[in-house]
Structure 1
């Protein structure tokens, strides 16, 4: 059977497009790892450099750390960035704040590691350590106050 069509206000038929389905985490560990790899590949494709100076430079994939970043107070606005593995967390925090348009003048900002499963606690990252020492490639972090 064909998908239903809806009629627009000018009488022309337009097909309805079903919404995208999100991948459901699998109970099978092998399947879950495979889904994570696919998500990481998609993230690598869409990620932009966290440091604007790296935009025109070629950096090898094994030297990049990819992150999904969102602002804690704003739901739905998540973006993908990559950073060099040699970058410190404090520098990455400053770059993310400027890229996402958040000021840290009045209240200090923190990077918070958001766990994939809801059972783990959120961890505030330490600004004096390397970013790669605190998060893994493909993780989700939040800008928090």
Structure 2
């Protein structure tokens, strides 16, 4: 967690695979009570134009696309790419577990209020693949859990 509020554009410019790997290696386990705003995101992006700019051209061109290995016919092409994400943080949380919450180090945790713009990511623990990355610009608009 940062000690000071940093402009998001500065942090976004630093988001590289190398930096994320280095930062994750420096993480330490510390007892922290975190107050996050309630988040409910439902985002959709059409990606065809962007993927064409990256060189994916033939698959979306009716006259050049060849997916005959899938259907046995050459009448198949990709008409659009749609990326959709649904992400929600609520106050429900996990049920109280004495084995987790009864530990001594959790009795006096540090407090962190996410009350300023921040970047978040969801990462698969086994593969370290980033599944989702986003930013919340107005966290004060949502309700927070009380610590």
Class of the TM-score when normalised by the shorter of the 2 chains: under 0.3
* Greater relative contact order (Cα < 8 A, sep 6+): 2
**Higher Cα Rg: structure 1 or 2?**
2
- TM-score normalised by structure 1 residue count: 0.19
